[in-house]
Amino acid sequence: DVKVTQSSRYLVKRTGEKVFLECVQDMDHENMFWYRQDPGLGLRLIYFSYDVKMKEKGDIPEGYSVSREKKERFSLILESASTNQTSMYLCASSFHGQINQPQHFGDGTRLSIL
């Protein structure tokens, strides 16, 4: 069964901490995405990657960075966490040429910044 795995379901961190969210997929997908989901705002794209070591900014990249050293793994980094980054974070992946079709999602990480 195909799978996108996010390392933590729930995470609590403090303001100013550096936070790492990890995502691993076992489908050999080229494209990987990070979204955040907030009530009333829907899903918003933070960053995406279409190949190893490649990254592209999404709609709301400020305060975030990403790393893709291996095809199966895409990490989201909050350089200095702030309370407005409290949210549900969702990782997704898709095959090459399907930038507009993220079809497989992980279960999400609910991140609280105190």
Partner 1 sequence: KQEVTQIPAALSVPEGENLVLNCSFTDSAIYNLQWFRQDPGKGLTSLLLIQSSQREQTSGRLNASLDKSSGRSTLYIAASQPGDSATYLCAQGGYQKVTFGTGTKLQVIP
Contacting partner 1 within 59-88 (CB under 8 A): none
- Does 95 contact partner 1 by CB under 8 A? no
- For the chain, how long is the longest CA-to-CA vector? 39
Candidate list 81, 90, 111, 113; residue touching partner 1; CB under 8 A: 90
Q: How far apart are alpha carbons 43 and 41 in whole angstroms? A: 7
- Please select the residue that binds partner 1; options are 81, 92, 111, 113, rule is CB under 8 A: 92
With contacts defined by CB under 8 A, name the span among 14-22, 41-49, 66-74, 77-85 that binds partner 1.
41-49
Q: Which stretch binds partner 1 (CB under 8 A): 13-21, 38-46, 60-68, 71-79?
A: 38-46
Among 49, 106, 111, 113, binds partner 1 (CB under 8 A): 106
Q: Angle at the Cα of 88 (from 10 to 94), degrees rounded to 5? A: 105
- b or e along 83-113 (b: 16 or more beta carbons within 10 Å of the residue's beta carbon)? eebbbebbbbbbeeeeeeebebbbebbebeb
41 belongs to the binding site for partner 1 (CB under 8 A): yes
Task: Specify the length of the chain in residues.
Answer: 114
